Amino acid sequence: MAVTLTDIQREIHRLSEELIQRQEPDGTWRFCFENGITLDACTIILLRTLNADQEELIRQLHDRILAAQEPEGCWRWYRDDGEGHLSATVEAYYALLFSGFSRPEDEALQRAKRYILERGGIGQAKSLLTKAILAATGQRAWPSSLSLIPIEILLLPESFPLNFYDFSGYSRVHLVPLLIMAERNFRARTARTPDLSELFSSDRDPDEEGLLRSPESREALDQIQSALAHLVGTPRRIRQAAIHKAERYLLDRIESDGTLYTYASCTVLMVFALLALGYEAQHPVIQRAVEGLSNMKFTVDGSDLGESGYGYITIQNSPSTVWDTALISYALQEGGTVATHPAIRRSAAYLRDRQHHRAGDWQIHNPGVLPGGWGFSETNTFVPDVDDTTAALRALAALHTDDHATLDAWNRGLNWVWSMQNHDGGWPAFEKNTDKVMLTWLAIEGAKSAATDPSEADLTGRTLEYLGNFAKLGIRHDWVARGADWLLSHQQEDGSWYGRWGICYIYGTWAALTGLMAVGMPADHPAVIKGADWLGSIQNADGGWGESCRSDQARRFVPLRASTPSQTAWALDALIAVHDQPTPELERGAARLIELLHEDGWPASYPTGAGLPGYFYTHYHSYRYIWPLLALAHYVNKYGDGAP
């Protein structure tokens, strides 16, 4: 269909009105941060192991998992997830059985069982979280890769060339409980624990064994062992000191809601680790953790789901309230909602209250800087990240010049973002200069993507976009120019950029192009032309854009063969930033985006958020509002009758 400015303005108005109506009285927007069935399954397994009185929640999570099973008997992370996902299927099967609401002879479990056995049994599940849950509940041995990382690594001073704080923050909070449990060879079985032994042909993992024998893995482990040789004391005393430090590490990072780092995944592991240390199931710390985990549930209304049509309860890994609130407030303002509107004022007050004032682990690599960032979740008080901080600052931009409280928040936030720039010129997610490649060689599944927190194109591009469009800084400033140079040096041969936290090359290319244009890169720069041409080359026949989650494993663009609202909006927004006048591809993209917003097929719920390649993907329920509104607003602001 042909699209007119009137069509686009009508859609902006519709989206804006719906979002304003959905705002909560406290100024927030609360959408589901959906992460497949893994956390639902892990929560059931934990609650049953603790004999927790949570029958209603267990039943709700059971029903959600069961409804997501595919006809082949498997579970998938996303629609085109090959022949299914073995780790997710193992987790689902185990949780359904452990819940007590499904029986081994049920047809659904029989199909799942056949699927698992046909793929070599439970021992072939690759996810470290899956292996850990199975080991913690006595179903398999602890992975040998964990036993080769001594828990004494926690005792190494931060001044050592290789130490525990060289791991990324999000890997540390998962690694510590794993090291505690592996050291204790912990196994928690109850009278209700199912016996999965018939589903094991072997718990040998040939891939893990190959990694353990690799020269790179051996070099990393040798470096750790060499550093540990400097510790003074008897082996027994050193081991006890390390275990005590590991325990303190966990306890010191529990938020007010009882969760560890506000992540459900590491909270589950923490509870098992505390049990391994001798804590009783009724201990207040464990009870608060369970309560916090339970409060991470989200009730998805069936009326919002299009073709799937049923409502369900799911456990979010980390509720996205701050992220969604900041982005929606910003998108509304770009769409014409004035900063004095009550919805914007309420969201600004909420965001100011959520700015961090507590010290955090990020200061280890960035000392002497005052807290000033924002985190992803409402209860997050000391784990800020660059992307959430720039999102909050965009939302506050129109208010910071005439409101003292907002100006103070703005200045502290901008200073924090500036301070987080890596030595190489790019920006990380959580911690500065946490990029020692050696740690990615460890024989731990996911280490390549999770062990470090390096500069990324999406984070660097988004930061530059904020600095250029909102802080009015450009490549004439040395540190901004260094960020732009980092992006230029990390462009792929085909013109795209890889995005770490979204899917994937569309996401990274959008962030890079909008960032470069915002800080003053000319539209005729070869890198800009190449990036825009690449986006044009992958546009679908229907005018939209879509990319498969498989891209992050293949490390190349894999087309989805369908258009999604968020990816279409990202591509459209990038091209708007580059082109002075609407092009045919832009007009087709805008028309298709509007169509997508009125369709309820599977592309509307396809996950376009990335967590861990191959193992963790996110469907942000907010994304079909945020990014389309933003792209359409930018279209009108640039090409409309009243545009400058």
The catalytic site residues sit at 387
**3-state SS string over 392-443?**
HHHHHHHHCCCCHHHHHHHHHHHHHHHHCCCCCCCCCCCCCCECCHHHHHCC
Q: Residue 299's beta-bridge partner residues? A: 313
CB atoms within 10 A of CB 54: 20
Q: Which two tokens stand for residue 3?
A: 């699209």
Strands (DSSP E) along 199-296, which ranges? none
**Residue 291 buriedness (CB in 10 A; 0-12 / 13-18 / 19+):** middle
H runs (alpha helix) in 277-369: 284-294, 321-334, 342-353
3-state secondary structure of 609: strand
CB atoms within 10 A of CB 25: 6
Name the residue with tokens 């209304």: 301
Q: Residue 315's beta-bridge partner residues? A: 297
Question: 140-154 burial, b for 16+ CB within 10 Å, e for fewer?
Answer: bbbbebbebbbbbbb
From the list 531, 526, 404, 421, the residue with the least C-alpha distance to 467 is: 421
Q: How far apart are CA 379 and CA 389, in angstroms?
A: 15
Q: Which two tokens stand for residue 449?
A: 């993507």
Q: How far apart are CA 218 and CA 226, in angstroms?
A: 12
CB atoms within 10 A of CB 200: 18
Task: Determine contact, residues 507/608, Cβ cutoff 8 Å.
Answer: yes
294 Cβ neighbours under 8 A, 6+ residues apart: 43, 54, 57
From the list 28, 629, 46, 628, the residue with the least C-alpha distance to 377 is: 28
Strands (DSSP E) along 452-495, which ranges? none
